[in-house]
Amino acid sequence: MIILKKLCLGTLLHILSQAKISGTKQLSQYGDLLSCYKSSQDNFDDSYQGHLKSGKNNLTDSDNLISCDKEKLILHMRKKVIPYLKPALHKNVVLAIREVLKEDDVEETKNIGFADEGYTKQDIINKTYFTFDELLANVFYYCGVLVDNIPYKENIKEIKNDPTFVESFSDKVDEIEFEEAYHPLTSKIKMTLDVKKFNDVFKEIASSNLPVPNSNSVNIYSLDIVNAKIDYFKIKKFIFRNIGRYVYSRAARNNYELSGDAEAISAEAIKAYKKRMSRNPETNHFNEIMLYSFLECVLGAPKIFSKMELQNKSGEFNTFSSGIHVLSLKKGTLPFNQLILGATDTYDSLDKAVDNAFLQIEKLAASSSSEEYELLETTILNQEFDAETNELLKDMIIPKKGSGVTKPENAYGLFLGYTINIQDAHLLDNEQFIIAAKEKMDEDIKNIIPYINNKITALGLTNHSFYIYILPLNDALTDKEEIIKEALEV
């Protein structure tokens, strides 16, 4: 009797084990894999892992895997699973999975992964290009949720160890190509904010990704919660301490420091802010300061112009952006830069904040961002930045022919504030409120992803990068005004 290979959890564990880096403990490798959908001591239990690998047991609590967020699962594979695998065997793992599926009697159109979003059997057998972490996430989901491990004890044994099944495909690795992931590079241009001080104020609650091909992220953050309410003490102090960095350019701040008058920056910045607000009262600088802070401290994209600096140039250029930042990235071995244009809104509902921010993006897209690029290019050529920043920006924004660097891509950075609505909040103590708030934020970011993606698709911007930062408030429409007024006593 011929025993055919079967793609099940035991098979997958054998494949991953055969591809692991020498010296890796199987207990740790499997434990970190299983921790993607639940935290349990079982994950690191030798007997439990052995029974899964042999086909004696199925996953416990697999319902948790069913409800696991797809993007979080992919991120977990990238950060916690792939580092255990020999880089030279990554393509072998894909080829091994492919070979198993060729023998597996599952139908050709069966989704190997998430419903309507995973790869089909046909895809895996016939495709050349794969995103490795995404494929592993789909295969693990399929094996853990959709396949009964127990009937295939004999099939699992077909993944031979001597020589290893995975290594047997080394002569076929040219059949597979990986779609390279984007990796941020440390910016040569100095940040203007202190990341440690930012992290004292803002705590990341959840993150996700959009289903667009370019680099992107969606992050939701929280301030401290005190007496069952979001507390604004630290954020007011943060704004006060950084108003000079928001209002003034690097060159202007350098002039203050060179003149020995650095302590005057905050006072002069508040004066400048009051003056600008009297001219442009419709601008809510709370949104722009938040966007500036998140792009620098989370994304690592240094500020080139804040909204205030852009407004100070009003009449020279017609810009719709809430700020301009620059991000350095690498795809594979190719470095490139992105010019990040800002769009912001704080509204009572998160959906409405998204709507208003995307109206701003629509205007930016319609202008082809030419005004922003022209502004930056002219400022560089006029040497309006400090000498070091000017030279670095010149290489990034106006690259020399033959340098290997191309003109920067356009990308979008968004800050979205909204009112968090906690059911029966008045009945909760502080600890209960914190738990309920985190659950609500998790729910809110999960629900807003498809809404944002529809906006991007409607504008025809799916080939752009989006970096989105969300901050819940107690009463968004009132608080966005009060926070900055009380921070600056204006």
- Could you report the per-residue pLDDT of 396-443, keeping only the tens digit for each? 887 776 666 678 889 999 999 999 999 998 999 999 999 999 999 999
pLDDT of residue 360: 94
The percentage of the chain sitting over the pLDDT mark of 90, rounded to a whole number, equals 53
Whether residue 449 is predicted with pLDDT greater than 80 in this model: the reply is yes
Q: Mean pLDDT across the stretch 69-96? A: 91
Q: Mean pLDDT across the stretch 461-476? A: 95
pLDDT of residue 329: 87
Q: Pick the closest to residue 16 from 125, 136, 171, 177 (CA basis).
A: 136
Confidence of residue 255 (pLDDT cuts 50, 70, 90): low
Confidence of residue 259 (pLDDT cuts 50, 70, 90): low
End-to-end CA distance of the chain: 84
pLDDT of residue 118: 64
| Higher-confidence position of 231 and 130 | 231
The whole-angstrom separation of Cα 213 and Cα 462 is: 7
> Phi and psi dihedrals of 424, rounded to 5?
55, 40
Confidence of residue 98 (pLDDT cuts 50, 70, 90): very high
The whole-angstrom separation of Cα 131 and Cα 153 is: 30
pLDDT of residue 180: 66
pLDDT of residue 59: 92
Whether residue 200 is predicted with pLDDT greater than 80 in this model: the reply is yes
What is the overall mean pLDDT for the chain?
A: 87
Q: Mean pLDDT across the stretch 186-200? A: 90
Q: Is 347 left (phi over 0), alpha (psi -120 to 50) or beta?
A: beta
Tokens representing residue 89 in the block: 């065997």
Q: How far is CA 98 from the centre of its chain?
A: 30
Q: Mean pLDDT across the stretch 212-216? A: 83
Whether residue 391 is predicted with pLDDT greater than 90 in this model: the reply is no
